[in-house]
Structure 1
Amino acid sequence: MPRFEFDRDAFGQFAEGFARFMGTARFLAWMTVIVVVWVLWNVPAGPARPRFDDYPFIFLTLVLSLQASYAAPLILLAQNRQEARDRVGLDADRAQNAQNRADMDFLAREIASLRNSVGELATRDYVRSELRAELRTILAELDAAEDARPGAREGENGHRSSSRESERR
């Protein structure tokens, strides 16, 4: 007995296309036109006008039921395929979110480490103040050494002055 094989993806795409078409205004408009034409054709207008349906609207009900019986599984198939795609997308989003969280945690640890390191470093203002203090100490030592040197010269007012003092002013 020959086995019937069909492409599941092609059938799924057909089901999705069918479900998409059934959800459009075009489908509803055509369905309404068909039902209205069917009803008008089968309303008795007199003995001269033949009916399409010998049993008024029973065949219409059968056709609509047949259409619904095929539409429901096709719509469900399309929804299942969409759900599977959504699930894959959600899994990818979860993985990306986990990676983002790990990256944020790593960066937060790095920033905390940098803050600790910067806290131990000397700031520019601190270094300047220390250099100024050292410069004052050196200049004071140089002045003291110059004053202790024999033959230090006196300035106009009788005070000893050094070239360094005048440079500082």
Structure 2
Amino acid sequence: MARANKSELRLDTPKGLRTTNLVGRKRNGRSNDRFGRFTEAIARGMGTPWFLLGLSALVVFWVGWNTLSPEGLRFDSIELGFIALTLVLSLQASYAAPLILLAQNRQDDRDRVQFEQDRQRAERNLADTEYLAREVVALRLGMKDLASKDFLRAELRALLDNLDQRDEQERREREAARDRDSRELESREREASPRDSRGTAERTAPHEVHPFD
């Protein structure tokens, strides 16, 4: 691309003249856009009631002036059928039609651009809608794998029952161990009480004196 651009440039052409072409193109584009806006303004003005009222007032004034005013002040002859008025109206109609067509062409271009933008926006909205639909379906499929409220309640109740049973079993084991300890203690006390009574009896009994002593 760079080589092609360099080959298109002429060395015998001054640099200022080469740049003026681009500037001229920009100016032509701006002038075309300005002329298009001007034609649209004229077309909009011609489509208003004020234009019809002004044109009607002009025709009435034209006909009245050339009919009621003195002959020296008349500029259009009534005998010739107001030729000047006919020419003016024909000229206005001949210029109005192309101006209206130019305005319609610009409006068609804008409508085409707007239609393209609307189509792109509709495609984006459709893509977003499809994406959201896929996400909703994925969430629904994921929700099927999740636990429901009833399942969680049943699991919690089962866990609480297991904990209650474990606590009850531990309590029973502690009571059984306490009972065993108390029975062992009582048995030890029972075994120790005869021994103590026997020892006290031996200590309190008098010593027998042997006759040979």
TM-score bucket (shorter structure): 0.7 to 0.9
Q: Distance in 2 between matches of 1:113 and 1:81?
A: 48
- Aligned residue pairs total 147
1:9 partner amino acid:
D
Superposed counterparts of 1:153-164, under 5 Å: none
TM-score for the superposition, normalised by structure 1:
0.76
Residue of structure 1 equivalent to 2:76: 53
Q: Say whether residues 1:109 and 2:134 are aligned partners.
A: yes
Higher mean Cα deviation, 120-129 or 80-89? 120-129
RMSD in angstroms over aligned alpha carbons? 2.4
Give the equivalent residue in structure 1 for 2:147: 122
Does the residue aligned with 1:150 lie in a helix, a strand or coil?
A: helix
- Distance in 2 between the 1:146 and 1:41 partners? 125
The Cα offsets for residues 88-133 of structure 1, whole Å up to 9 and x where unpaired, read as 0110111011001101110111011111111211134421221211
Q: Which has the larger radius of gyration?
A: 2
**2:36 maps to amino acid:** G
Q: Deviations over 1:3-48 (max 9, x none)?
A: xx952212111111110111122221211111001111222x59x5
More helix by share: 2
Identity, % of aligned positions: 48
C-alpha distance in 1 between matches for 2:93 and 2:151: 84
Q: Which has the higher contact order (CA 8 A, sep 6+)?
A: 1
Identify unmatched segments of 5+ residues in structure 2: 1-26, 180-213
For 1:26 and 1:143, the matched residues in 2 are separated by 100
Structure 1 gap ranges (5+): 154-169
- Structure 1: distance between partners of 2:85 and 2:171: 123
Instruction: Summarize deviations over 1:22-79 as a string: whole Å, max 9, x none.
Output: 1122221211111001111222x59x54432132312211110111000100110011
Q: Could you tell me how far 1:143 is from its partner in structure 2?
A: 2.8
What CA distance in whole angstroms lies between the structure 2 residues aligned with 1:152 and 1:94?
86
- 1:152 is displaced (CA, Å) by 7.2
1:77 to 102, 105, 121: 102
User: Residues 9, 17 of structure 1: CA spacing in aligned structure 2 closer, same or farther, 3 A cutoff?
Assistant: same
Give the TM-score taking structure 2 as reference length: 0.61
